[in-house]
Amino acid sequence: MLDPNPAMISGVRYCGGVNASPLSMLGAWIKGPKSDLTNWRQLPGRHVLFTHKGRGAIALAAKALNLKAGDEVLVPAYNCGAEVEALVYAGLRVILYRVDSSARIDLEDAARRKTNRTRALYIIHYFGWAHSLQAASAWCQRENVLLIEDCALALFSPGPDGKTGRSGAAAIFSFGKTIPVPDGGMLTLRDNAAVAPVPLPTVAIASVFGNAMTLSRSYCLQMADRLKFYSGAHTFVRLKQRLFQRRSRRRHHPDIPPQYAYQGSEGIYSISRLSAGLLSTVSAAQIRETRRKNYTLLLSGIQGTPGVNVLHADLPPDVCPLQMPILVGDRRQWMEKLLLRGVHAIPWWQDYTRRDLSWHEFPEACYLKDHLLALPVHQGLDPSLLNYVARSVRQVSDELHILPRPRAITKKSQCK
């Protein structure tokens, strides 16, 4: 039975649960983008290209950096899969390197895997906790290797050295994970890294219509929930349950979903007029402040809960959290029970891509893929909903009669 208040806690996958009203999207479409879309700290001094999708920005980066077919790119073993698909489509050979059980990259392992064909080191900043890039930048410069930063999960996190998105020869961004837009990615290039590609054709509105309708539909359901009309919310949760149960029957190490694959035949387009207009209204400082407050509140509510290991139990001042990543034992049961309460916890990057990759060499990354859940902390949540999420996590812990926390994965552990 659903709690009567928070039926739409995390919402849809787009923009991490934040939804846009139909009127705001209509206004953004009519006004269009401003001449200067953003004043974000990652952009000054860089060549900037706005793309339709983040994976398109990855493929564009390969072209801009003059990477050739057969060149090797070192990619962290804990990855989404979409970035791997885009790199492989560009003709590049992906070589995985180790990520530990706390989602920290192992630069020494990456260095050991370098060959004379290695052209680039790809670094992913996870959940808003950006890596320090001083050592990686120095290694890349010494070894004549290009540094590519994937900032899709760390849009407004400057990082411990204040240079997230500014250290690499190229940086990739994906807007829909953090802000309410139906499409949009970004590629930034260091001035001396390459000549910026020519302007891209703008994507047709038809290509983003479905996503825009999803945002509007979820917004309307949230408004209905606030007005105490719960039928739509109940229907939403039931649909999510059926979708989850269908996916849970898939075999271990599921393949990457088809929608993640990069389709080079679709071309590389610029961001839509609708999303560009919405970007003009974004307050990075406000989003960052709200997400930090939400993370702190949720952390205080679940810290110490049996069976829950919070991946990041601290919140440094340089972090704008995307989600709250937690490690649990039987993730399927956790997802099912949280979903019954209206809490959509995402099995972050559970899918595996390119089975020819050496997944068996990276037990820590496999453990993250198989046990990590992402709880919502987005700017659309208020304290009452966050308290409900925390209460739901504690209730699920009690229901599962969990006593010890899930064991930490070690390098000697093996993937299933």
How many Cβ atoms sit within 10 Å of the Cβ of residue 332? 13
pLDDT tens per residue across span 222-234:
665 555 444 444 4
Angstrom CA distances, 252 to 353, 355, 370, stand at 12, 12, 9
Q: Give the model's pLDDT for residue 289.
A: 96
Least confident range of 30-34, 113-117, 139-143, 299-303: 30-34
Token pair recorded at residue 302? 């679940």
Instruction: Tell me the average pLDDT across 33-49.
Output: 77
CB 219 within 8 A of CB 21: yes
Rounded Cα distance between 161 and 182, Å, is 31
pLDDT at 105 over 60: yes
DSSP state of 342: T
Q: Give the model's pLDDT for residue 270.
A: 87
More confident residue, 244 or 90: 90
What average pLDDT does the structure give for the chain? Answer: 81
Where does residue 50 rank: exposed (0-12), middle (13-18), buried (19+ CB within 10 A)? buried
CB 376 within 8 A of CB 10: yes
- Highest mean pLDDT, choosing among 1-5, 52-56, 323-327: 323-327
Domains and their CATH numbers in the chain: 14-18+209-253+282-399 (3.90.1150.10), 24-190 (3.40.640.10)
Where does residue 153 rank: exposed (0-12), middle (13-18), buried (19+ CB within 10 A)? buried
pLDDT tens per residue across span 338-384:
988 888 899 999 988 777 788 999 999 999 999 999 999 999 888 98
pLDDT at 313 over 70: yes
More confident residue, 72 or 39: 72
Confidence of residue 206 (pLDDT cuts 50, 70, 90): confident
Q: Give the model's pLDDT for residue 216.
A: 67
CB 123 within 8 A of CB 105: yes
In the chain, the percentage of residues whose pLDDT exceeds 90 is 50
Per-residue exposure over 8-34, b if at least 16 CB sit within 10 Å of its own CB, e if not: bbbbbebbbbbbbeeebbeebbeeebe
